[in-house]
Structure 1
Amino acid sequence: MTTGVRRRMGVEERRQQLIGVALELFSHRSPDEVSIDEIAAAAGISRPLVYHYFPGKQSLYEAALRRAADELAGRFLEPPEGPLGARLLRVMGRFFDFVDDHGPGFSALMRGGPAVGSSRANALIDEVRQAAYEQILAHLRIETPSARLQLVVRSWVSLAESTALIWLDGRRIPRGELELQLVHDFAALCAVSAAYDEEMAGVLLRILADEPAEGPFGDLVGRLMSLAPAVAAVPAQRLR
């Protein structure tokens, strides 16, 4: 008969295990509600041993935050091929996969959780936003964006973040609808900015030139055109 022997982990391997365990627990409950004792029990080690690898819950939380931030930033990576609308829709699908799988952890990541006020935690959150911003510019093939384009992209990244946080509170709108709506929101932000700026108008025209009628942006145009008769009738009704 053979008996199982627990393999001794190296320092870095144990640290990574504890980060993974913490992330799993944070995915189901707010980090504020998860104790070091629970993390130790889930990892199969003693509480003092957790403190051997991390000086406190804050340092373990920030290490878990680092891994979550890297994973979330990676969700915005997308090969720069094909129509932009379809690319953004795939990005939103992966983004909401993360949000769906790590609800409390995502909320903690974006709201600060127990690390509110921590400069390191705030820097990690900013890294995620910056990575998303840079990826969108890469999709647009623009290295030096105008002030208006910067505003559009950063506004859209913030909108995606806030939309996901609101959606987590009850999930009252079908996820797929929100993913498509956010892609439409990007086009709408570009269109509004294009109405004020010739350079943004050029960006918008380049985007739409490559979009198929059945794509997300074509879908938005179709939806808006179906509303046009009703919108046009509003001034006439007011004159009666």
Structure 2
Amino acid sequence: MTTGVRRRMGVDERRQQLIGVALELFSQRSPDEVSIDEIASAAGISRPLVYHYFPGKLSLYEAALKRAADDLAGRFVEPREGPLGARLLRVMRRYFDFVDEHGPGFSALMRGGPAVGSTTTNALIDAVRQAAYVQILSHLGVTDPPARLELVVRSWISLAESTALIWLDGRRIPRRELEVQLVHDFAALAAVSAAHDEEMGALLRGALADEPADGPFTDLVGRLVALAS
């Protein structure tokens, strides 16, 4: 974080600096607890100069959320190479990297923070969810998903969000266990849907076709068999 250092910057450079400073502060504490004075001090500029670039704390907050949302959406980008289970596990690890590094900021993004119900905040959250949805479909090689598949994928994304938010409240379960559990959750949701729909069954069989013996999906099957024994 830049502190107490004044130097001349261009308009866009200064705006980006302020967004970065605000995002770092919002990642450490709830945005409600961060003042414009703190942001100005951390950026090495005066309070009036902050208002020169942003009309108020809400506009700066929304700009910081936009950067965080873009970062979070990018965590779902994964090359379509290798078994699906391993790909989803890498996605979940990057997702929880973000959650771990930006705890209060993540909570503010998902819950709306000081901008609860604002059009901008809702649009940012929806954009993250849609980016995640599109990426998961790409991993499955599907461009026109049937209704049951859409339900599974969107339900899983919501589950990942709620799991991360609950985990942040005390971190009582080891993070690595939750990452694997969420991959298992995806397989379980897909399997239940496949039990009711042949099209989903074909998609699931295709996804599992190249799953290795040490993959997370195979691990889930082993755990369920052991549980039923």
TM-score, normalised with respect to structure 1? 0.93
Equivalents in 2 of 1:149, 1:35: separation in Å?
A: 44
Match of 2:146 in 1: 146
- Structure 2 partner of 1:125: 125
Aligned 1:164-179 pairs, distance under 5 A:
164-179=164-179
Superposition deviation, residue 7 in structure 1: 3.3
Shift, 1:213, TM fit: 1.3
1:196 aligned onto 2:174: no
The answer for the alignment partner of 2:85 in structure 1 is 85
What is the deviation of 1:101? 0.2
CA–CA separation in structure 1 for the residues paired with 2:108 and 2:228:
42
Considering only CA atoms, is the larger Rg found in Structure 1 or Structure 2? 1
RMSD: 0.8
How far apart in 2 are the matches of 1:16 and 1:188? 42
C-alpha distance in 2, partners of 1:90/1:162? 19
SS of residue in 2 equivalent to 1:76:
coil
Unaligned runs of 5+ in 1: 230-240
Equivalent AA in structure 2 for residue 40 of structure 1? A
After TM superposition, give the deviation of residue 6 of structure 1 in Å: 4.7
- Deviations along 1:90-123, whole A, 9 cap, x unmatched? 0000000000000000000000000112101100
The one-letter amino acid of 1:101's match is E
SS at match of 2:223: helix
Q: Write out aligned runs for 1:179-194 (5 A).
A: 179-194=179-194
Mapped partners of 1:77, 1:56: distance in 2: 33
- Shift in CA distance, 153/142, structure 1 to aligned 2, threshold 3 Å: same
Q: Which residue of 1 aligns with 2:116?
A: 116
Extract unaligned runs of 5+ from structure 2. none
2:31 and 2:114 in contact (8 A); partners too: yes
2:94 is aligned with 1:99: no
Q: Match of 2:225?
A: 225
**Runs of 4 or more off by more than 6 Å in structure 1?**
none
Contact 2:31 2:108 in 1 (8 A): yes
Native 8 Å contact 2:6 2:45 kept in 1: no
Match of 2:214 in 1: 214
Mapped to 2, the partners of 1:15 and 1:56 lie a distance apart of: 13
CA contact (8 A) 2:86 2:215 kept: yes
Give the aligned partner of residue 7 of structure 1. 7
How far residue 227 of structure 1 moved from its aligned partner, in angstroms, is 1.2
- CA–CA distance in 1 between the matches of 2:118 and 2:40? 24
- Provide the rounded CA distance (Å) in 2 between the counterparts of 1:87 and 1:6: 44
1:218 is displaced (CA, Å) by: 0.5
Offset at 1:17? 0.2
Query: What amino acid does structure 2 have at the position aligned with 1:71?
Result: D
> Could you say which residue in structure 1 is the equivalent of 2:157?
157
Which residue does the alignment assign to 1:42? 42
- Aligned-pair distance for 1:210? 1.1
Deviations 1:120-142 (A, max 9, x none): 11000000000000000000010
Query: After the TM superposition, which residues 46-57 of structure 1 pair with which residues of structure 2 at under 5 Å, given as runs?
Result: 46-57=46-57
Percent identity over paired residues: 83
2:60 equivalent in structure 1: 60
Could you tell me which residue of structure 1 aligns to residue 19 of structure 2? 19
